[in-house]
Structure 1
């Protein structure tokens, strides 16, 4: 019975909020764990039987099983939204999730690559279809700050190379336009001419970046490619696709870019999300000063 309301909720937020499939799956995963706890440990199978303590006991159970404060806070947010839906749908008479304190999230500074590391990473000898593709993808990711999910969803019609920009669709299917640098533009042109045609072998496919079978590349596929390139270039940091996005934003701010412009390029709804990169920039400047100033 409870699973039925969960699927109704997922359908509701998909229609009302236009959330991505990854976000919807995160809600479903969080709430399945919640419902399983209610059924098996709290022995509750009716929504009206849920009390405030039922929810707090679930959160304590998560903590006991090693969940971070950030994960618990996100799960509580999912539960609150779900309960508001149940209240609105007259499944619940009252909302037991209100007045439950959210754990404070310790916000660590994002890890970034140095400019030298980026230069080293991008020294890819593009001399066959796969290496040409790899260079084009990594150049594009660093040049635009796209999320990896946005990168692999790019279609040929999203490219505007003459004008020097790409169009992408971020969270909530929000469209944004991001400039392309000359080096990324050249790499993409090289890939479209000497890489992609040999990979797709005449197949009709919209996505720009494809795997060796000529099919759309997956997130996991891109992750493996990036790891392989980083290892080959002897980048010792634990490189992730998101680290390139962090590096894009940090390097722009270090070189004088406007915070609002960076916010727009990253597709952040709230500028406070973008402001974390100003802290990264300041910390890096302090580190450079401490390392190189004779009286630091």
Structure 2
């Protein structure tokens, strides 16, 4: 059973654009599942696993005090692994196909105003290669709503500047995401005047590189976005997810279809996107208050 996990981890590391931290989480999740199946259910092959076995493991995680979000992450790892095994003929049935993560209360995401987004995106206002890179990263993150792990994993072949889209590769599925003119211009300037000046960047397959020419890390981008938030004078707590949440909230607030936003975000279920409808409801309340005679 270890062999199948190791082959899968090698596969997602090579082909699916996942960060080292995400890959490590997948590996840890799957080894915990394997150890449970061996110790508690006495299984020795993945082909023996049933939907009941997986549900039993989920109940075990909950009994151990795992938070709903942690259990949900395990479910994502397990579903992706069994989908891979089924697709590659390692198992005849897909036991995790109908498994759903436990429901948990969704907190309203922290978002920032459009004005503060503009302040953040324009904070890298210099002409150095690093600032050109940072401006392009921030613009693309807000233009597409992708995760930071997806942003730093983008390769040169994933970007189409002529049409204006990025191919975002994930474990579950790839998706094509358009971006607008501001992000396009920032990318053009970065590729023309910034990327080649970064050490070894011309030899890297990654779109965004650090000063040593290697791929950017999530931790590296965390420091970047924090620094520019401070420079822009933004008082709210800014995290790498802030621009993703703000992208979704601003899109829906401006009338975007929730199903389209869900697809852009890469949500497998539109219910995961419903949390952003709060911002649409707020906009409707403002419209009602201003327009209704007795509002």
Using structure 1 for the length normalisation, give the TM-score.
0.70
* Structure with greater Cα Rg: 1
1:261 Cα offset (Å):
3.5
**Counterparts of 1:1-296 in structure 2 under 5 Å?**
3-4=2-3, 6-7=5-6, 10=8, 21=18, 25-36=24-35, 47=44, 62-63=61-62, 66-75=65-74, 103-124=102-123, 125-163=125-163, 165-171=164-170, 172-181=172-181, 183-200=182-199, 203-283=202-282
Distance in 2, matches of 1:179 and 1:78, equals: 29
Q: Which moved more, 1:143-152 or 1:256-265?
A: 256-265
CA contact (8 A) 2:253 2:279 kept: no
SS of the equivalent of 1:241 reads: coil
CA contact (8 A) 1:154 1:207 kept: yes
Distance in 1, matches of 2:258 and 2:223, equals: 32
Distance in 2, matches of 1:263 and 1:54, equals: 31
1:121 Cα offset (Å):
1.1
Aligned in 2, Cα 1:194/1:270: closer, same or farther, shift over 3 Å? same
1:210 Cα offset (Å):
1.2
1:75 Cα offset (Å):
3.1
1:245 Cα offset (Å):
1.3
1:72 Cα offset (Å):
2.5
CA contact (8 A) 2:195 2:202 kept: no
Q: Deviations over 1:30-61 (max 9, x none)?
A: 23234446778x6x76559x999998886676
Aligned in 2, Cα 1:205/1:116: closer, same or farther, shift over 3 Å? same
Residue segments in structure 2 that go unaligned for 5+ positions in a row: none
What is the alpha-carbon root mean square deviation over aligned residues?
4.4
Count of paired positions: 279
Distance in 1, matches of 2:53 and 2:158, equals: 48
1:242 Cα offset (Å):
2.2
CA contact (8 A) 1:110 1:280 kept: no
Q: Deviations over 1:46-95 (max 9, x none)?
A: 559x9999988866764566421232244367668879979x979xxxx9
Aligned in 2, Cα 1:61/1:219: closer, same or farther, shift over 3 Å? same
CA contact (8 A) 1:176 1:267 kept: no
CA contact (8 A) 1:109 1:280 kept: no
Q: Which moved more, 1:257-266 or 1:116-125?
A: 257-266
